[in-house]
Amino acid sequence: MSALPTSLTLGSLRVETPVVLAPMAGITNAAYRRLCAEQGAGLYVSEMITSRGLVEGDETTQKMLVFDELETVRSVQLYGTDPVYIGKAVEILCADHGVAHVDLNFGCPVPKVTRKGGGGALPWKRGLLGEILEHAVSAAAPYDVPVTMKTRKGLDDDHLTYLDAGRIAQESGVAAIALHGRTVQQAYSGQADWDAIAALVAHVDLPVLGNGDIWEAADALRMVEQTGAAGVVVGRGCLGRPWLFRDLAAAFNGEAVATLPALGEVRTMMRRHAELLSEHMGEERGCKEFRKHVAWYLKGFPAGGELRHQLALVDSLATLDDLLDGLDPDATFPERELGTPRGRQGAPRKKVALPDGWLDDTDGRGSHLREDANETTGG
């Protein structure tokens, strides 16, 4: 067994713990990134923004490019289908926003994205993928900013793309590739295929980050040991559990830690989360944004239906404080929830939504489709 990685090197960027927060739409805003960063070292990636939205000055895109004042390493996930737009967007991020890391999304499974040839559908077009990566890498090079990419195994089991994507990433000068061990067709259902991550590690010389089914710190260690990945990308596992990053930092440092906070500690974390959201967005909007997190924080804990309902309607910090007082601070962590999936799962798709004739050609250079300027879905 090889030694565990203790840090992650992406070009000129060194990340103190080989752990990356996966971009999640509507979740990984500046407040949540700050909350997770307070728990442990790692790389915390923003919500996905579109290259076209950025280049054309779309208002929604601009509002999403908000960073916390303590966010020393600015990391942004970019989506796009047009090499020229991607290159321009990378330059804007580096020159105008002080971004230190750009991740390109080729993993999103959402039909409205794949139907336009974006996200997880794009790597089928090997030539187009190469063009996009080359434009991104050359735009970032003068600023010494590493570019990484995130992808999936392929469209479905009959149309796998990840080994080709890894080779193209390496040839294009990409600093690392993250692989979610599911196909687009699987979306978030079923089990992640860690063997595919191991196959990609064996296939390329650049760092491979493993993504999929990391619910506890022990899962991250197991993934790295099984696959040889250089680090892990954590998405749904940290929903309602920012302290998972504390456990992950400790685990990669050789300490066996599993934080099992009593409801009192969870209550404090909930309050901190709402407070950070309010600082960044204003109290009313911040509290509304916080509502979606309530069920994740309270998963498995004893909290009455009426109290949960009221928390899901919270509109001010004062109301939140009153409601949090109704939670029993001594209630112990529900250990049966350990290792279980969190967030969306759903069923596999019957078939992947693709542009007409998409499968007929595996090159695709010059055939990119125009993405929506305000596309904001994660992958």
Q: List binding-site positions for FMN.
A: 23-25, 77, 150, 180, 235-236
Residue 215 CA, chain-centre distance (Å), reads 14
- Residue 377 covered by a domain: no
Question: For position 202, which CATH number holds?
Answer: 3.20.20.70
| Residue 369 belongs to a domain | no
Q: Could you tell me if 280 and 160 lie in one domain? A: no
Is residue 183 within 8 Å of 157, Cβ to Cβ?
A: yes
- Of 329, 348, 369, the domain-final residue: 329
For residue 139, is it within any domain?
Answer: yes
pLDDT at 233 over 70: yes
Domain match, 168 and 275 both: no
Residue 109: pLDDT band with limits 50, 70, 90: very high
Q: Is 238 tagged catalytic?
A: no
Task: Tell me what the pLDDT averaged over the chain comes to.
Answer: 94
Within this chain, do residues 236 and 200 fall inside the same structural domain, yes or no?
yes
- Give yes or no for residue 369 having a pLDDT over 80: no
Higher pLDDT, 40 or 279: 279
Q: How far is CA 67 from the centre of its chain?
A: 16
240/286 same-domain check? no
**Residues 74, 198 within the same domain:** yes
Residues 38 and 99 in one domain: yes
Distance CA 85, CA 90 (A): 9
Q: Which residues pair with 44 in a beta bridge?
A: 21
Confidence class for position 279, pLDDT limits 50, 70, 90: very high
The answer to whether residues 234 and 148 belong to one domain is yes
Q: What are phi and psi of 354, to 5 degrees?
A: -135, 160
Q: So what's the pLDDT on residue 278? A: 98
Confidence of residue 267 (pLDDT cuts 50, 70, 90): very high
pLDDT in tens, 174-201: 999 999 999 999 999 999 999 999 999 9
Two tokens, residue 272: 């901190």
The CATH number of the domain holding residue 293 is 1.10.1200.80
> Which residues are known binding-site members?
23-25, 77, 150, 180, 235-236
* Residue 340 pLDDT > 70: yes
Q: How many CB atoms lie within 10 A of CB 347?
A: 10
Residues 6 or more apart in contact with residue 278 via CB below 8 angstroms = 286, 287, 317
Last residue of a domain, one of 222, 253, 284: 253
Together in a domain, 142 and 216:
yes
Question: Does 376 have pLDDT greater than 80?
Answer: no
H-type alpha helices, the chain:
30-37, 51-55, 59-64, 83-97, 111-114, 126-140, 162-172, 194-203, 217-227, 244-252, 263-281, 283-290, 294-298, 305-311, 317-324
Residue 25 lies in a domain: yes
| Residue 309 resides in a domain | yes
Q: What is the pLDDT of residues 316-333, one digit of tens each?
A: 999 999 999 999 999 999
Domain that holds residue 36: 12-253
If one counts the domains in the chain, the total is: 2
Is residue 170 scored above 70 in pLDDT? yes
Residues 274 and 166 reside in one and the same domain: no
Instruction: Please identify which of the residues 94, 108, 238, 287 carries the catalytic annotation.
Output: 108
Task: Indicate if 154 and 297 belong to the same structural domain.
Answer: no
Per-residue confidence (pLDDT) for residue 346, from 0 to 100: 84
CB 236 within 8 A of CB 343: yes
How confident is the model at residue 277, as a pLDDT?
Answer: 98
Q: What is the pTM of this model?
A: 0.95
